[in-house]
Amino acid sequence: MSHISVLLHETVDALLAERNTGIYVDGTFGRGGHTRLLLSKLDENSRVYAFDKDPQALEVAYQLEKEDPRFKIIHASFADLKAEINGLGLDKVDGIMADLGVSSPQLDQAERGFSFMKDGPLDMRMDNSQGQTAAEWLVDVDEEHLANVIFQYGEERYSRRIARAIKQAGYIETTAQLAEIVKVAHPKWEKNKHAATRTFQAIRIEINKELDDVHSFLPQATDLLKSGGRLAVISFHSLEDRIIKQFIQKESTLAEDNGWGLPQKVEDTRRLKKIDRIRASEAEVKENPRSRSAWLRVAERLTAKGE
Domains of the chain: 8-99+210-301 (3.40.50.150), 112-208 (1.10.150.170)
Tens-place pLDDT, residues 116-169: 788 899 999 988 888 999 999 999 999 999 999 999 999 999 999 999 999 999
Q: Please tell me the least confidently modeled range out of 93-97, 229-233, 244-248, 301-305.
A: 301-305
Tens-place pLDDT, residues 186-243: 998 888 788 999 999 999 999 999 999 999 999 999 999 999 999 999 999 999 999 9
Residue 1 pLDDT > 60: no
Tens-place pLDDT, residues 246-284: 999 999 997 665 455 655 666 778 999 999 999 999 999
Nearest alpha carbon to residue 117 among 191, 206, 189, 195 = 195
- Binding site for S-adenosyl-L-methionine, by residue number, is 32-34, 52, 78, 99, 106
Taking the CB of residue 118, how many other CB atoms lie within 10 A of it? 15
Q: How far is 180 from 186, CA to CA, in rounded Å?
A: 10
How large is the average pLDDT for residues 92-103? 90
3-state secondary structure of 25: strand
Q: Say which residue, 33 or 289, is predicted with more confidence.
A: 33
pLDDT band at 107; cut points 50, 70, 90: low
- Binding site, by residue number, is 32-34, 52, 78, 99, 106
Predicted model pTM: 0.90
DSSP string spanning 67-125?
A: H-TTEEEEES-GGGHHHHHHHTT-S-EEEEEEE-S--HHHHH-GGG---SSS--BS---
- Strand runs (DSSP E) across the chain, as ranges? 23-26, 47-52, 71-75, 93-99, 225-235, 272-279, 295-301
pLDDT at 263: 58
**What does pLDDT average to over the chain?**
91
DSSP, res 189: P
**What phi and psi, each to the nearest 5 degrees, are found at residue 50?**
-130, 150
For 206, the enclosing helix (H) or strand (E) is helix 197-208
CB-CB contact of 48 with 24 (8 Å): yes
Q: Which residues contact 268 (CB under 8 A, 6 or more apart)?
A: 254, 304, 305
Taking the CB of residue 204, how many other CB atoms lie within 10 A of it? 24
